[in-house]
Amino acid sequence: MSEPTFFDAVGGEATFRRLVDKFYEGVAEDPLLRPMYPEEDLGPAADRFALFLMQYWGGPTTYSDNRGHPRLRMRHAPFRVDAAARDAWLHHMRVAVDSLGLPEPARTQLWDYLERAAYFMVNTMDPAEPATGQ
């Protein structure tokens, strides 16, 4: 028998849907992040994000089957993602991750990935903020 994927180990689709639903509760009320979602209903964005995360962590490949390669930076290029947006995103994501009650080390593994992803998505530097990775 093969070892279960992270997706399976943390509870599968239900866990990732809870994570994304909790995250978008915060985004819906966030004055900085909400304008980055042009659709009036956040449901389609939440569904895409859940499918992406499920696939990334070893679940079904529905995201790529329907949308192709994730191309995360390209898909986010039309939006100003600066340090403030990154930090707001991380705040709502921290609340969502903590709400899952995942055991260690799964909680830390998930959070570390999400934090790295948030930093990776920054596409606008604030002149007062030092560049990372130097």
Amino acid letter at 15? T
CA atoms 64, 70, 76, 81: torsion sign: positive
Interval 13-72: pLDDT, tens: 999 999 999 999 999 999 999 988 877 888 988 999 999 999 999 999 998 877 655 555
DSSP secondary structure letters along 51-82: HHHHHHTTS--HHHHHH-S--HHHHHTTS---
Averaged pLDDT, 76-96: 86
- Of the options 3.40.50.1860, 3.40.50.800, 2.102.10.10, 1.10.490.10, the CATH number for the domain spanning 9-121: 1.10.490.10
Give dist(CA 73, CA 121) in Å, integer. Answer: 6
Contact 16, 53 (CB under 8 A): yes
Q: How many CB atoms lie within 10 A of CB 79?
A: 16
